[in-house]
Structure 1
Amino acid sequence: MLSSQLIMEQIRDHPIVATISIAVGAVLASEVMWKAVLYFRDKREKARRVHEVVCFNELGEICAAQHLRNCSPGSPEPVVFRCHNKHCTLRNVGKIVEQIDRAEHSIDLAIYTFTSLTLAEAFKRALQRGVNIRIISDGEMVYSFGSQITTLARFGVPVRVPITTYMMHNKYCIIDGVERVKEIRMLKKRKWMRPCYSIAIIGSVNWTRQGFGGNWEACVITHDEKVTLMLQAEFNRMWKAFEKDENKIIQKE
């Protein structure tokens, strides 16, 4: 109470000094608040950063029986539960699922073969969140047994394939690519969209049971800006090149 009275007296007796003091205090307070915002933003950004190599090999399935025993009743998929297998296929696929579940605006997938139910479910969750998904695949393998590409097409995902005897053999995915997010913002006529972090997933592995649980494969998951920009540019180029072939095959299924 006494300090408040002294402050009021100082304001009355020295208005200029008081004004300067208040201004300095406001600046200091705003600086503290801004540093707090930067701290939490940087903390969130670091949590999103990823740069790792995921390897699939002959040791990935040695823990499969354990996961089946620990499967929750009614659950379509087993879960990783105290798994000590560092090569665990389930855990490694989960790393890809984690990135798909973080997608905020877009997912662009160029994949030769896609039959994984686990990843297809992650794509469906992304669709429910309003994420824009596009898929480029091979003209023949898009109809491989168990293909989830045709299933996703029925959910409204646009799919394009090249009509050629050559294979569309890519296996990569760009999540929230910078150029794609800008394009979506312009199409939706929005002045601003929530900031996001671009992720690229690329490697030799097809998104299939055999690819994840039988072959020797490698997959890189990275936030590297140069990698994500280059892959997004190539996807955009292919998307335009295959434009005339869209919907000729997929939507008639």
Structure 2
Amino acid sequence: MSAVRLFGLGALAMLLGLDCLARLLRLVRARRGAPRGPLKEVLFFPVDITCVEHLLRAGEALPNSCPCPLPHGQETSFTRLLRHLLSASTSLDLCIFAFSNQSLSRAVLLLQARGVVVRVVTDTSYMAISGSQISTLRRAGVNVRHDMGAVYMHHKFAVVDGRLLITGSLNWTTTAIQCNKENMLVTEEPDLVQPFIREFQRLWDSNDPARHCPHG
């Protein structure tokens, strides 16, 4: 057998060996739960009503069985939304038009109690409607600013820890969650997250009460 042919067979064997090694490494990483890139998830509503106490009281001593009559242990778009919110460890920036759902309010208050820096921008017209949770958040010490412009502040988005964006058509109301056809996008894609961070900061700064107080 000529040296050229031997060299060719050796090169082919090496390539096949490298390909097998690459496949093996991919398999090992997959089994170890190696990250597959930034999170991207779509949530659709409405959802069935289920118990969410296991999420809102995580870490507490809970009874073996919850006495409430709602279904338990079901994963829905709403439980996914709560999980994403409760993953916050440093900050939550919330820009929301209407906010009356008590479970979402409890989630925000839980983050506040954990020491997460929570900031909320909301619409002036809807912050005082019956059932609004904005006053509840304020009483708990959450930093809230309301839009002082002439048009609706109609955004519905949250940024978790400056890395995770939650946005879509969903107002944070029980009606929207349980009755309306709504959508939410959850993503860690920096090209999508960063513009919302800038928009939140622009609204936060422009609605600083100090800028609107009359000067003597």
TM-score (norm 2): 0.70
Q: Tell me which residue corresponds to 1:234.
A: 199
Aligned pairs, number: 171
SS at match of 1:174: strand
Could you tell me whether the CA contact under 8 Å between 1:72 and 1:78 is conserved in 2? no
Please state which structure has a larger fraction of its residues in helix. Answer: 1
Residue aligning to 1:216 = 181
Q: Aligned partners of 2:76 and 2:211: how far apart in 1? A: 35
Cα distance in 1, alignment partners of residues 83 and 95 from structure 2 = 18
**Code of the aligned partner of 1:207:** W
Structure 1 counterpart of 2:124, from 128, 139, 156: 139
Following superposition, the deviation at residue 163 of structure 1 comes to 2.1
Match of 2:165 in 1: 200
Matches for 1:1-253 after TM superposition, within 5 Å: 46=35, 49-57=38-46, 60-61=47-48, 64=49, 72-73=66-67, 78=70, 80-81=72-73, 83=74, 91-177=76-162, 198-244=163-209
Asked whether the 8 Å contact 1:160–1:245 carries over to 2, the reply is: no
Which residue in 1 is equivalent to 2:21?
A: none
The 1-side partners of 2:89 and 2:109 are apart by 13
Instruction: Give distance in 2, aligned partners of 1:99 and 1:215.
Output: 21
In structure 1, give the amino acid aligned to 2:43.
V
Q: Deviations over 1:160-213 (max 9, x none)?
A: 112233100000000011xxxxxxxxxxxxxxxxxxxx1100001101011111
Alpha-carbon separation, structure 2, partners of 1:242 and 1:133: 16
Change (3 A) 1:174 1:247: farther
Conserved in 2, the CA contact under 8 Å of 1:106 and 1:133? Answer: yes
Q: CA deviation at 1:230?
A: 0.8
**TM-score normalised over the length of structure 1:** 0.61
**Which structure 1 residue ranges, 5 or more long, are not aligned?**
1-38, 84-89, 178-197, 249-253
Identity value in percent:
27
The aligned amino acid for 1:97 is L
Q: Are residues 50 and 43 of structure 1, via their aligned partners in 2, closer, same or farther at CA, if it must alter by over 3 Å?
A: same
CA distance in 1 between counterparts of 2:101 and 2:211 reads 23
